[in-house]
Amino acid sequence: MADQIVVVGGVDTHTDFHQAAVIDSIGRHLATAPFPTTPDGYRRLLEWMRSHGDVLAVGAEGTGAYGSELARFLLANEVMVVDVDRPDRKARRANGKSDPVDAYAAATAVLSGRANGRPKTRDGIVEAIRSLRVVRRSAIKARTQTINQIRTLIVSAPAEVRERLRGLPTYQLISQLSRSRPGTDLADPNCAVKTALRRLARRHQNLTAEIAEADAELEPLVAQAAPGLLELIGVGTETAAQLLITAGDNPDRLKSEAAFAHLCGVAPISASSGRTNRHRLNRGGDRQANHALYTIALVRMRYDVRTRLYVARRTAEGMSKKDIFRCLKRFIAREVYKHLTSTNIPQVQLLQTA
């Protein structure tokens, strides 16, 4: 009988173990069990699910984090994986919270059709770009923190130190501090602050070199993944890398350019009621991708003649700067999409007709 039953699986993912659940085709709960997050645990989980029937699909939470390796394993074994969003607070208050409850909820979401998103495969060049970019972003954050600490120390330093460094641009400040000789008497406040400043300046130099090394590694990878993307006006290695990461190694999971725009949070959401027909700002989606589109729009407003003419026309029509930015980001998302996927889509419209 088990061979004739169609079942749907659900998984609540964690660091050390995954809680799995199985339901039948009409939603009845069949079984639930935990499995370790090891290759053997993934194999046992799949065998356990198949022991209850023919596995139609498996819904999993966190396919981009704790469940990423499980998703890769299931896809390699020709099992359809569905990315399931975590239940909202209202559902949690109504149904309670436990690992078996969440696992059953994931399976039910797949069966009902509420969850239908395809997870990123994370097995290609875009995943390599994402890993390298994590290091670059952390280095940039640390470098910014370092220069802020340097300037804070200068503000509170003795006048002898402060006056000598006042008003210097960043590159001169770092160069001068890294070559300084503060002395050895650390009990002296002047010597101590000079020592701290030199260490911070050398840390800033090391982080700058690390960022340059990451850029040299990322640039050929981004050019290989999407050569046409870097040819667009305003698109650099950093913004192109972020848009590639947002689309993933399998951009065909995006049904259309409108779906990609919604993923980036640049597709307005309908908020109409009665005789009122309006749209509100979309505050969801991938905010880093949204920021990348904002950066591209900012560069184009400064250097692209076509975009400057569009901004002038829209401003004359009474549109605010924020609304112009939103229109530009929506257009750029449409333009970028065709370079992220091989799907045939209509030719993008010119800004004059936007």
Q: Are residues 89 and 6 in the same domain?
A: yes
Q: Are residues 102 and 32 in the same domain?
A: yes
Question: Do the strands 81-84 and 54-61 form a parallel or antiparallel pair, or are they unpaired?
Answer: parallel
Q: Are residues 258 and 330 in the same domain?
A: yes
What pLDDT is recorded for position 89?
64
The single-letter code of the amino acid at 224 is Q
What pLDDT is recorded for position 354?
45
Q: Are residues 150 and 208 in the same domain?
A: yes
Are residues 246 and 312 in contact, defined by beta-carbon separation less than 8 angstroms? no
Which of residues 197, 225, 253 is at a domain's end? Answer: 225
Q: Are residues 198 and 264 in the same domain?
A: no
What pLDDT is recorded for position 185?
79
- What domain range is 15 assigned to? 2-112
Could you tell me the CA-to-CA distances from 289 to 124, 238, 240, 284, 294 in Å, in that order? Answer: 19, 11, 9, 11, 9
What pLDDT is recorded for position 90?
67
What pLDDT is recorded for position 165?
87
Note whether residue 19 is domain-resident.
Answer: yes
Are residues 272 and 278 in contact, defined by beta-carbon separation less than 8 angstroms? yes
Note whether residue 120 is domain-resident.
Answer: no
Which of residues 194, 225, 256 is at a domain's end? Answer: 225
Note whether residue 87 is domain-resident.
Answer: yes
Q: Are residues 204 and 264 in the same domain?
A: no
Alpha-carbon span 195 to 189, nearest angstrom: 10
Which of residues 82, 112, 142 is at a domain's end? Answer: 112
**Phi, psi of 205, deg, nearest 5:** -65, -40
DSSP string for residues in 264-295? TT-SPEE--BTTB--EE----S-HHHHHHHHH
Q: Are residues 37 and 135 in the same domain?
A: no
Alpha-carbon span 140 to 203, nearest angstrom: 12
Q: Are residues 288 and 338 in the same domain?
A: yes
Q: Are residues 23 and 58 in the same domain?
A: yes
In 60-124, where does DSSP find H-type helix?
68-76, 89-95, 99-112
Hey, CA dihedral for 263, 264, 267, 272, is it positive or negative? positive
What pLDDT is recorded for position 92?
67
Say how many domains are in the chain: 3
| Consecutive H or E run containing 30 | strand 29-36
Q: At what angle do helices 189-225 and 170-178 cross, to 10 degrees?
A: 120
Per-residue pLDDT of the chain (354 residues; tens, 9 = 90+): 445 689 999 999 999 999 999 999 999 999 999 999 999 999 999 999 999 999 999 999 889 889 999 999 999 999 999 999 876 666 666 767 789 999 999 999 999 998 888 888 888 899 999 999 999 999 999 999 999 999 999 988 888 888 888 888 999 999 999 998 888 877 888 888 999 999 999 999 999 999 999 999 999 999 999 888 999 999 999 999 999 999 998 888 888 999 999 999 998 888 777 777 777 788 888 999 999 999 999 999 999 999 999 999 999 999 889 889 999 999 999 999 989 875 333 333 334 444
Note whether residue 230 is domain-resident.
Answer: no
Are residues 294 and 321 in contact, defined by beta-carbon separation less than 8 angstroms? no
Note whether residue 59 is domain-resident.
Answer: yes
Note whether residue 71 is domain-resident.
Answer: yes
Are residues 82 and 112 in contact, defined by beta-carbon separation less than 8 angstroms? no
Alpha-carbon span 11 to 22, nearest angstrom: 9
Q: Are residues 174 and 73 in the same domain?
A: no
Residue 12: which CATH number?
Answer: 3.30.420.40
Q: Are residues 60 and 135 in the same domain?
A: no
Note whether residue 117 is domain-resident.
Answer: no
Q: Are residues 100 and 9 in the same domain?
A: yes
Question: Do the strands 54-61 and 6-12 form a parallel or antiparallel pair, or are they unpaired?
Answer: parallel
Are residues 121 and 72 in contact, defined by beta-carbon separation less than 8 angstroms? yes
DSSP state of 157: S
Note whether residue 309 is domain-resident.
Answer: yes
Are residues 183 and 191 in contact, defined by beta-carbon separation less than 8 angstroms? yes
Alpha-carbon span 185 to 342, nearest angstrom: 65
